[in-house]
Structure 1
Amino acid sequence: MATTDYKFEGWLGHSAESAKGKMEWGAFEPKKWTENDVDIQITHCGICGSDLHMLRSGWGPTHKACCVGHEIVGRAVKVGKNVKHVKVNDRVGVGAQALSCLQPDCPDCSNGLENHCARSSVNTYGSVYPNDEGKSYGGYADYNRTNGHFVFKIPDGLPSEVAAPMLCGGVTVYSPLKKNGCGPGKTVGVVGVGGLGHFAVLFAKALGADKVVGISRKASKKDEVLELGADQYIATDDDKNWSVDNARTLDLIISTVSSPKMPLTEYLGLLKVGGSLIQVGAPDGGNLPAVSAFTLIMSGIKIGGSAIGSPDEIREMLQFSADNKIRPWIQTRPLKDANQAIIDMEEGKARYRYVLVNEKHVSA
């Protein structure tokens, strides 16, 4: 039976101060229901760095009040008539995107690139829907309503607390690894081994890369990163001459760092001739360090970017993770403690991903 007597309530950010652990619990009005939608009773929601950026309006003004969280897993409790791949009581998930234009003449959506749709894109939270359908609200909440095209069945064998952070953090690195040839014969560097970066290490190894190198500032992470499966670790603050000693050793770098002060030129020097650095971390303001054209020209290297992943890529990644028993390092936190959890996240205490657990729904 479908549950119909539920209320949409969650942790709401009313100002930039909410990013400092000052979200307030309250009711919100979800988008207007359509027969393309799915209502989800949330059991788990990962905490992503994007949540903090949005709460403090780091990427531009955020529509307030805002309920963040876009790594959502739960149970479908209401399914629109036009949604054919999900039924009531299925275990499902939602990532960072809630809608694109989905028109057959769209060069992006018609080619499975919904995450790059230039006509219309609605984020899972903090966006306004077209056609006066209301605002989008995320997963630090009891329930979520999202267009069914962006709702995914979670494969059996993939625990909900494991699947949740994959829906944004996982696919954000899985997509560029796959698109840029990660596999046998390749050496891959991961800049910033945190929530995103630890996924990149796990996926690069599972995809068969010959060598995976973790790159972070401090040597204190070395043992953990090697335990994740990395073959080498570079501490840029502590290893003298790291850029010279490791020059031209990597085919591909995935950069998860969101700092405008990172040593980008030195990272590029780690690439072999013809190599690529793909930026997935998005700093407040969007600025990256300046790079000389000669840095690119002399080694024939490329800088690119990648944004989350398409629905097809998310489904592929979830099944790949289930088949290969990918297990990110997560720490579960009660949903009621979300304010303290985002403070701890900002202070770098997560190893390596916090997942909020809506305990009343997990036990239901």
Structure 2
Amino acid sequence: MKSFGYAAKSAASPLNLFQFERREPGPRDVQIDILYCGVCHSDVHTARDEWGGAVYPVVTGHEIVGRVTRVGAEVTRFKEGDLAGVGCMVDSCRHCINCDDGLEQYCDHGFTGTYNSPDKRSGGVTYGGYSTSIVVDDHFVLRMPEKLDPAAAAPLLCAGITTYSPLREWGVGKGHKVGVVGLGGLGHMGVKLAHAMGAHVVLFTTSPGKTQDALRLGADEVVVSRDEDAMAAHAGTFHFILNTVAAPHNLDPFLSLLRRDGTMTLVGAPAEPHPSPTVFNLIFKRRRLAGSLIGGIAETQEMLDFCAEHGIVSDIELIPIHQINEAWDRMVKSDVKYRFVIDMASLKDEVKSL
């Protein structure tokens, strides 16, 4: 089935129009006409081969919202016309202990990423959501709440679940003091979600100019992390800290803010490792340094329903696809509030003009 997208042909090349084939829907497949696709920093890391393993051409995009256009004969959860979403995964082994527990992102055999993963169906490589359509096994398709703006809801499928999952796993709720490090695509979702869960939220930033925006998004306090006195005033008081920064930095100042048995969870994925934290910073308060990777399919659906209940979406800048290379450069410079989303009507218009 003919499809069009924007692809990187090499680590150094810009994204350009690319024609490729999608598989015909099988009995358990859902075909989706893509309306919007969020732009994630992982897209840049992958296409520029900053993490290694890129297989070119690369069509990125794993924050996908669209309308169902076809369903296989065995599909019961979706019908033509439904609003549906696809996140970071399109397959897993389905039988390991992690898949059985609904944690497909930790599949012992490796989940199939929405892009740049070996495609068991075609024998090739998966292509993502910077494209006109996609065909996905129905287990990995999400029901998108109609009450949410579909463009602004697209980043929930990565940025939303990436921050929701650790907040849920570590039991964030009323009476908890929660820190969020960084106010970018992930951080602004962490602030919104932690606030909706009832926590007292403190945003840590290196940019004093982000204070008013953080308060608008739901932070109760803002601390400039370069201010040693301001940091010291919070020492030993946090139940949980969500660190969203995707650049190497010293973790010790934030670990010192945790109370006994407090946890800091890393969700940012820098291209280079963080400096190792001081062991004594952990052992004297039984503090924990953890990591978290997106969320399982059931938890992602739970997150979408939670966001619908609380009216939570991402703050976005909607762009036509021909501006994607400029958007990537701006995103790397943190020049976006707070997530780019591609309007795929622009790609369809480009294809029509061929």
- Corresponding residue of 1:134: 124
* Aligned match of 2:352: none
Aligned to 1:108: 98
Aligned counterpart for 2:270 among listed residues 273, 283, 288: 283
What residue identity is the alignment partner of 2:29? Answer: D
Counterpart among 38, 42, 47 of residue 46 in structure 1? 38
Matches within 5 A, 1:284-363: 284-285=271-272, 287-359=273-345
Residue 132 (structure 1) shift? 4.7
Alignment of 1:4-23 (within 5 A): 7-18=2-13, 22-23=14-15
For 2:253 and 2:228, the matched residues in 1 are separated by 13
The one-letter code matched in structure 2 to 1:332 is L
Query: Within the alignment, does 1:245 sit opposite 2:244 as a pair?
Result: no
User: Paired residue for 1:93?
Assistant: 85
Partners of 1:288 and 1:97 in 2: how far apart? 26
- Deviation per CA, 1:119-170, whole angstroms, max 9, x where unpaired? 2311000111236543211111111122211111111201111220000000
Match of 2:108 among 104, 118, 138: 118
Deviation at 1:31, TM superposition (A): 4.8
Q: 1:30–1:136: 8 Å Cα contact kept in structure 2?
A: no
User: Of residues 241, 266, 275 in structure 1, which corresponds to 2:253?
Assistant: 266
CA distance in 2, matches of 1:158, 1:325: 7
Secondary structure of the residue aligned to 1:28 is strand
> After the TM superposition, which residues 150-161 of structure 1 pair with which residues of structure 2 at under 5 Å, given as runs?
150-161=140-151
Paired residues in the alignment total: 350
Mapped to 2, the partners of 1:313 and 1:269 lie a distance apart of 31
The list of structure 1 runs, each at least 4 consecutive aligned residues, that deviate by more than 4 angstroms after superposition, is 360-363
Which residue of the other structure, out of 226, 242, 247, is the alignment partner of 1:254? 242
Q: Does 2:228 correspond to 1:233?
A: no
CA RMSD after TM alignment: 1.8
Distance 2:149 2:306 in 1: 14
1:184 matched to 2:164: no
1:193 to 183, 202, 227: 183
TM-score of the pair, normalised by structure 2: 0.94
Q: Is the 8 A contact 1:79 1:86 kept in 2?
A: yes
Q: Does 1:212 align with 2:201?
A: yes
Distance 1:250 1:311 in 2: 29
Match of 2:55 among 54, 57, 63: 63
Aligned in 2, Cα 1:99/1:129: closer, same or farther, shift over 3 Å? same
Residue 360 of structure 1 deviates from its aligned partner by 5.3
Is 2:215 the partner of 1:221? Answer: no
Distance 2:343 2:194 in 1: 28
Q: CA deviation at 1:335?
A: 2.1
- State the shift of 1:264 in Å: 0.1
Are the counterparts in 2 of residues 271 and 301 from structure 1 also a CA contact under 8 Å? Answer: yes
Correspondence for 1:3: none
Structure 2 counterpart of 1:299, one-letter code: K
Match of 1:173 among 163, 167, 171: 163
Whether the aligned pair in 1 keeps the contact of 2:90 and 2:112 (CA below 8 Å) is yes
User: Percent identical across equivalent pairs?
Assistant: 38
CA distance in 2: counterparts of 1:74 and 1:130, whole angstroms = 23
Structure 2 residue matching 1:76: 3-state secondary structure: strand
- Map of 2:17 onto structure 1: 25
Counterparts of 2:346 and 2:180, CA distance in 1: 37
Counterpart Cα distance in 2 of 1:171 and 1:100: 18
Deviation (angstroms), 1:28: 1.6
Q: Quick one: distance in 2 between partners of 1:83 and 1:115?
A: 23
